[in-house]
Amino acid sequence: MQHNDWHSVFQTLKQRGVDTLTDQERKLRRLPIQKIKTVEAVFQPRQAAFSTAASAKHHAELKRALQAKGELDPIVVMKVGGAWYCLDGHHRLKAYQQAGGRRTHVPVNVFEGSLEDAFRFTVESNAPDKLNLSTEDKKEAAWRMLLLGLPFRQINHATTVSKGTIHNMDQARQRVREQWPSAAVESWTWENVKRLLNTRAAEGAGDGWKAVKAKEWAQALARHFKGLPSQHPQIFADAFLRYDPAGARAVAAEIQRRAVTEECEADF
């Protein structure tokens, strides 16, 4: 099961507490670059299917815009535990940090509200220079918001994930807690919760689930490798051993066992 530390980080921030702002802090329009911290595990919604290539392209575009205009859209910040955190504008902040020069301050907008409000804001905000969220990212964000106890209506509005899907997520959360009462569900991603429940359901149907899985994996192998394993068995075997030595040996032993069984059956 893949784990994700976002919830523990979120709880740490909650323990530190959201600062009560002074009138002067509410009116802040610029902050020193070095005073703005980032917690992307919580405030960066592009987690599930983030494209490194897309990120690099976006960052390059921001650097060009910064050189041309001298300034980018304000970074949205929030004060927690005496420190300022970036809610929206991680790429803009990085562009400023890498630009160097004499610039010491960056434009900001100050956010006020609870940490749950801040999390929702990071998902639904749609600044002009922000990358679009993938469907996977939206569902992961919806799952996290559900775990934080936000209402279905707010989750739907922030992520555009359908209420039906959110309802299914809620049922999945209940099933996981019933079947694994001691598990830290908050540290699990939505994708892995789905995979776990689907596997458990298949296992409950008897040995037939193995044939279903075998067919599914065979199709995946066919898509990725086509006829390469039979054309280059030594290379494929070497690749398998490099990827998972124990798994490769276990598969080889199972294939050998089946070969022996078939030979014995043929003798009769």
For the chain, which residues make up each domain, given as ranges? 6-198, 208-267
pLDDT of residue 48: 45
pLDDT of residue 153: 93
Evaluate whether 80 touches 17 at the Cβ level (below 8 Å): yes
How distant, in Å, are the alpha carbons of 7, 98, 169, 209, 263 from that of 86? 17, 16, 29, 46, 66
pLDDT of residue 222: 83
pLDDT of residue 33: 93
pLDDT-flagged residues of the chain (< 70): 1-4, 47-59, 126-132, 200-212, 260-268
Distance CA 113, CA 62 (A): 28
Q: Which CATH number fits domain 6-198: 3.40.50.10860, 3.40.190.150, 1.10.1040.10, 3.90.1530.10?
A: 3.90.1530.10
Burial of 192 (0-12, 13-18, 19+ CB in 10 A): middle
pLDDT of residue 74: 94
Evaluate whether 146 touches 166 at the Cβ level (below 8 Å): yes
pLDDT of residue 173: 92
Distance CA 252, CA 246 (A): 10
Task: Look up the pTM and report it.
Answer: 0.65
Q: DSSP letter at 185?
A: G
pLDDT of residue 146: 94
